[in-house]
Copies of this chain bind each other. A is one copy, B any other.
């Protein structure tokens, strides 16, 4: 389970386990919405928990540095965060704005062809999804 792995990874890297960090990890567990920092902040606040903006940013930074989550740049306005660190592509439908995760074995060959050691990646494809094409 993501939460347990994340908490363990934080511990291993010498980070303290605090309430805000637990909340954010819980929030991201199984989350496929690629939320922004603001969305995370708002949603956590809605559930009677007190958290500050700076802490959301700090914690997300920490989780990214510890390789527990990925920062994705599909939205040029603001960073989004993804707890799924497995090889996948983000397909953004520009009509309905949905981000579809595509787990594909076609990603690996690209990573293997890089002229150096790979530490992370972000594959963003923009277009129009089948569901929107059918509607038009």
Chain A residues in contact with chain B, CB under 8 A? 71, 73-74, 76, 79, 89, 91, 93-94, 100, 102, 104, 106-107, 109-111, 113-130, 132-133
A67, B120: Cα distance in complex, Å: 28
Q: In whole angstroms, what is the CA distance A76 to B110 when docked?
A: 22
Could you say which of B102, B109, B116, B124 contacts A73, with CB atoms under 8 Å apart? B124
How often does this chain occur in the complex, in copies?
A: 2
- On whether A110 and B133 interact (CB within 8 A), knowing A91-B115, A116-B93, A128-B116, the answer reads no
Give the chain B neighbours of A113 by CB distance below 8 A. 102, 104, 106
Task: Provide the bound-state CA to CA distance between A31 and B93, in Å.
Answer: 30
A106 touches B104 (CB 8 A): no
